[in-house]
Amino acid sequence: MIERHRAALEAAAAAPMLEQVRWWSAINSGSRNLDGLNKIAGLLADAFSALPGEVSLLDAAPGEAIDPSGQPQPVAYGRNLHVRVRPQAPVQFLLTGHMDTVFAPDHPFQALTDLEGGAVINGPGTADMKGGIALMLAALGALEASPLGAGIGYEVIVNSDEEIGSPGSAPLIADRARGKLAALTYEPSALPDGTLAGARPGSGNFSIIITGRSAHAGRNPQDGRNAIVAASDLALRLARARREGLAINPARIDGGGPNNMVPDRAVLRVNLRPALPADQAAAEALLDELIRGIAAEHDVAVHLHGGFGRPPKPIDHRAAKLFALVEESAALLGRPITHKATGGVCDGNNIAACGVPVVDTMGARGGAIHSADEYLIVESLAERAQLSALVMLRLAERGL
C-alpha cells in the first residue's frame, strides 16, 4: 500500500520545512500585531503560490469587544490566507491552520534557540503552528507529485485570529468547510509522542456588563446599587454551577473607582466550556437564569455580550472513521499513534459543527505551547508531512 505512494512520500519529506519554520517563526505574529500578521501573510502567500491554484489574502469579518468601561469598541483582525485548487475535482478537502501566536511584540519570548544539537527548536510559534503550516504545504506539494493529484481538489485557510477564538475568520471557515469530504487542521499533536486530540468541548467567552447606580459611600450608600458587588455575586454563582460536562471560569472583573463612591459599572469576563451540545444549551439557560436573578436581587441592569464561538466537538461515526484512517496510516508509516479527548478548543470545533469530519492535530510534535518553553521536534516535520500526504491519498482512493 505504501509503495505505490513512495514518490509522493519522499517528496513530502524533502520539502524545505525546517528553513521555513525558522524564517516564519522569527517574525512576531501575535494575534493583535497587525503589522507582523501582514508580513507573515505575505510570506505565506508567496510560499503557497507554488501550488497550482488561486491564492488570495482575504479581509476578516469586522469585530467588536467590550472595553473595561463596558463600552463596545471595534476590533480589527489580520487578513486570512485562502488557497483554492481544482474546485471541480470529485474529491474535496479542507486544510486549515493559523499564522497568529499568543506572543505580543513586547513579550520577552521572541528568539529561536536550538536544543539537543538542533533536534529540537525552542521558539515562539515553532510548534503552534508555523511548523504545522510548513508540513501542510509539504504534504500538498507531495499530493501534486502523485498521479492521484489531478483528481483531488482542496482549499486551504490559514487564519490570523485562531488564538483569540477566530472571531474574524469563523464565517470564512464555515463557508469553505461545507461539502468537503474531510478536513485536516494543523494544530500540534496533543502530546509530544504524536497523540491526536479527539473529542473537544465547546468554548464561549462572555463579557457581562452590570450597570448599577453611583452614590456617596458615606452619606447615602443606600441610594447606590453596587455593580462590583453584583458582579462578584454573579461570579460566585457561576463558579458554584460548575459540573461534569460544563467547566466555568470567571476570569476577571473590570470596574470600580474611588473608595468613597459606590461603583455603578462593572464588567465580568467569563469562559464556559460545555462538553456536548446539550451542555451548551444548559449553559445558555444557566446564564439567562443567573443574570435575571442578579438583576432582580441587586436592582441592577445586566447586559450579556459574547457567545459560544467554538461549538462542542464530540466524535461522530464519520469522524471516528477518519481517525481510524489516520491512525492506520501512521501505523503503515511505522509511527503508531492514537487519540484522546482534550479540554482545548480550536478551529476543528467549527469545522465539525458544519458536519465535516476533521482531525485537528495533524501538525508537528512538540510541547509547552503558549509558554516561553514552546518547542518543536524537528524530525516530526517530515514524519507528519508524510502522514498527511498518505491520509489524503488514501482518502482519495477509498473515501470514508
Identify whether residues 207 and 337 lie together within a single domain.
no
Same domain as 168, residue 32? yes
Domain C-terminal end among 267, 285, 310? 310
Residues 109 and 257 in one domain: no
Q: How confident is the model at residue 400 (pLDDT cuts 50, 70, 90)?
A: confident
CB 184 within 8 A of CB 124: no
Residue 209 is predicted with a pLDDT of 98
pLDDT at 366 over 90: yes
Segment 69-96 mean pLDDT: 97
User: Same domain for 23 and 139?
Assistant: yes
Query: How does DSSP classify residue 223?
Result: G
Residue 71 maps to a domain: no
Q: Are residues 61 and 190 in the same domain?
A: yes
Final residue of a structural domain among 273, 292, 310: 310
> Could you tell me if residue 21 is inside a domain?
yes
Residue 133 located in a structural domain: yes
pLDDT for 170 = 98
Q: Tell me, what's the pLDDT at 216?
A: 98
User: What CATH number is given to the structural domain containing 128?
Assistant: 3.40.630.10
Tell me how far apart the terminal alpha carbons of the chain are, to the nearest angstrom: 17
- Please state, rounded to an integer, the average pLDDT across all residues of the chain: 97
pLDDT at 1 over 80: no
CA distance 390 to 396: 10
- Asked whether residue 33 is domain-assigned, the answer is yes
pLDDT at 91 over 80: yes
For residue range 121-174, list pLDDT tens digits in order: 999 999 999 999 999 999 999 999 999 999 999 999 999 999 999 999 999 999
Last residue of a domain, one of 270, 290, 310: 310
Cα gap 192→177, rounded to integer Å: 28
Q: What are the DSSP calls for 139-161, one per residue?
A: HHHHHHTSGGGGGEEEEEEEES-
- What percent of the chain stands above pLDDT 70? 100
Judge residue 271's burial from the number of C-beta atoms within 10 Å of its C-beta, 0-12 exposed, 13-18 middle, 19 or more buried. middle
Judge if the upstream peptide bond of residue 99 is cis by omega within 30 degrees of 0: no
Which CATH number is 214's domain given?
3.30.70.360
Q: Residue 16: what pLDDT? A: 98
pLDDT at 343 over 80: yes
**16/13 Cα distance (integer angstroms):** 9
The secondary element (H helix, E strand) that includes residue 175 is: helix 170-177
What pLDDT shows up at residue 2? Answer: 85
**What would the mean pLDDT of 193-207 be, rounded to a whole number?**
98
Domain shared by 50 and 185, yes or no: yes
276 and 354 assigned to the same domain:
no
Q: How confident is the model at residue 399 (pLDDT cuts 50, 70, 90)?
A: confident
Q: Are residues 12 and 108 in the same domain?
A: yes
- Asked whether residue 70 is domain-assigned, the answer is no
Based on the domain organization, do 181 and 283 belong to the same domain? Answer: no
- Identity of the amino acid at 169: S
Do 86 and 49 belong together in one domain? yes
Query: For residue range 14-66, what is the model confidence (pLDDT) as tens digits?
Result: 999 999 999 999 999 999 999 999 999 999 999 999 999 999 999 999 999 99
Looking at the fold, whether 135 and 160 belong to one and the same domain comes out as: yes
SS3 104: coil
Q: What percent of the chain has pLDDT over 90?
A: 98
Q: Which residues span the domain enclosing 359?
A: 3-65+76-200+313-398
Q: How many domains does the chain have?
A: 2
> At 74, is the secondary structure helix, strand, or coil?
strand
What is the amino acid identity at position 321?
Answer: K
Residue 100 placed within a domain: yes
